[in-house]
Amino acid sequence: MAGPLVLIGAAGLLLGLFVAGVPVFLAFLALNTAGVALFMGPQAFGMVANSIFTTATTGTLTAIALFVLMGEILFRSGAAEVLFDAVDRLVGRMRGRQFVLAGVLSTVFGALSGSNMAVAALMARTIFPGMERRGYDRNLSIGMILGGASLAPVIPPSVLVIIIATLAKVSVAGLLVAGVLPGLLLGAAFVGYALLRVRLNPDLAPPPETPAKGTAAPVGRALLHCVPFAGLIVLVVGLILFGIATPSESAAAGVLGALAIAAMFRRASLEMLVGALRSAVLLTAMILIIMASSTLFSQLLAISGASAQITRFVSDLGWPPVAMLLAMMALVFVFCLFIDQVAVMLVIIPIYAPLVALLGFDPMWFWLLMLLNVTVGGITPPFGYAMFAFRGAAPQVPMAALFAAAWPFVGLFLLVMLIVGLVPGLATWLPSLL
């Protein structure tokens, strides 16, 4: 029983540190250092250094730094504002157009940045005040923005996908493109839900209107402004999908594309580039430390015997795979209600990884479901980080309103998860083309 007891104690202590507000990377590093000292003595501290070195020099992880830098360049340069105006013009004249605009822009910005918090904050600062002034329903407006922002980790490029794929030892390129169809399905579900609500209750949106004069470019110019951004998304995803480049090479091409877009719209500057580089370096360093600690955590589970004993325990239960899948996903969903999603993922993946093969699940399909599961935690009350980012950008909105607005979109997310669970081809078809 030593193995399971060690696992329960370590996981409980780790989650307790997260709840107490200790930074994820510090909590992981402290626990792993203590575990090495407990099981192998101080002479094994070289294992900690080796884990950090191995993770930091893993070639596939260069994509993390490059994708983060790409998003920083686009947002710090202000090039995203050009896309905002262009899409605003193209949506056209219809009742509830701002709901559609929020859904489309959140999806596109998510694909360009990969950060749900960044998208939520950006949309709360830009489109949300206008929606309130025009008389759009507040809850539905907030929900559309939060739902759209939650697509950022699902639609490539996504830093979260690279972390999951690396820790779970599945194809990074495969898991990146696996999120395309479910991500688009989620976006369509959010927009469809908003339009249905408006159709059933027209009071949720003002009468159809055209954008105010001078706020958006003519349609032809708006289309031209969209082309570079669409080209950047196609470039990054297409290079991976057609096997022309690795995710790291594709990310490098994305950085060059982002710089070209910033220069094209005269938004490039040395100050912007320095700020983007500084932010990308700090964030990447933190992510790499967390991943190194998670790798060491996996090694400690193996040394303590916890991994092998848990595998035997699950095998002895005799539950059908479907019941095990539901239980595994339910556990993650509950944890993400209270704890940072990345922290939960880094604890859970080393535990779940040996069970995937034991239960006969397709790895690409299972880890995409895991991605969707931890992603919805970003908009799930009471500790969804995307909600906090929204509130930070729109402090006049009470948390109670954010909670009420989020739940319908959490339900839509779970519905799409169920569809992907029943139709695995939505997750595996694109990766099979690689």
Q: Tell me if 160 sits within 8 A of 371, measured CB to CB.
A: yes
Q: Would you state the pLDDT for residue 336?
A: 81
Show the tokens assigned to 250.
């594709």
Number of structural domains (the chain) is 1
Question: Tokens 């249905």, residue?
Answer: 196
**Left if phi > 0, otherwise alpha if psi is -120 to 50, otherwise beta: which for 93?**
beta
Residue 196, pLDDT score: 94
H/E stretch holding 338 reads none
Note the pLDDT of residue 197.
Answer: 94
Per-residue model confidence (pLDDT) at position 146: 92
pLDDT score of 11 more than 90 = no
Q: What is the pLDDT of residue 413?
A: 94
pLDDT exceeds cutoff 70 at 221? yes
What does pTM read for this prediction? 0.78
**43 in a structural domain:** no
- Residue 40 is assigned to a structural domain of this protein: no
CA pair distance 99, 107, nearest whole angstrom = 12
Query: Is 272's pLDDT higher than 70?
Result: yes
Q: What number is the average pLDDT over the span 313-340?
A: 82
Query: Distance (Å, rounded) from C-alpha 215 to C-alpha 220?
Result: 15
For residue 186, what are the contacts with CB-CB under 8 A and spacing of at least 6?
147, 150, 151, 154, 412, 413, 416
Residue the block writes with tokens 């090039």:
79
Is residue 39 one of the residues assigned to a domain? no
Query: What pLDDT is stored for residue 1 in this prediction?
Result: 46
Most confident of 187-196, 287-296, 332-341: 187-196
Domain range for 343: 58-432
Separation between Cα atoms, residue 247 and residue 158, nearest integer Å: 10
> Is residue 260 assigned to a domain?
yes
- What are the tens digits of pLDDT across the range 135-168? 889 999 999 999 988 888 898 878 888 888 988 8
278 or 36, greater pLDDT? 278
User: Does pLDDT of 112 surpass 80?
Assistant: no
Asked whether 3 and 309 are in contact (CB, 8 A), the reply is yes
231 compared with 215, residue with greater pLDDT: 231
Specify if 113 maps to a domain: yes
User: Is residue 3 a part of any domain in this protein?
Assistant: no
- Tell me what the mean pLDDT of segment 52-56 comes to: 73
- The identity of residue 91, as a single letter, is V
Residue 252: CA atoms inside 13 Å, Cβ hemisphere, count? Answer: 8
What does the alpha-carbon distance between residue 374 and residue 167 come to, in Å, rounded to a whole number? Answer: 15
Closest CA to 341 of 172, 175, 163: 163
- The answer as to whether 1 is a domain residue is no
Mean pLDDT of the region 23-51: 72
Question: Is 182 part of a structural domain of the chain?
Answer: yes
What average pLDDT is seen over the chain?
A: 81
Of the ranges 66-80, 121-135, 248-262, the best mean pLDDT one: 248-262
In this prediction, residues 66-84 reach a mean pLDDT of 79
Residue 285 confidence (pLDDT) above 50 = yes
CA-nearest of 113, 104, 8, 33 to 289 is 33
Average pLDDT over residues 1-19: 64
Give the pLDDT score at 414.
95
Q: What percentage of residues in the chain have a pLDDT greater than 90? A: 22
Instruction: Give me the DSSP letters along 285-320.
Output: HHHHHHHHHHHHHHHHHHHHTHHHHHHHHHHHH---
Instruction: Give the residue-averaged pLDDT of 170-185.
Output: 92
Query: How confident is the model over 336-392, as pLDDT tens digits?
Result: 876 767 777 877 888 888 888 888 899 999 999 999 999 998 888 877 778 877 887
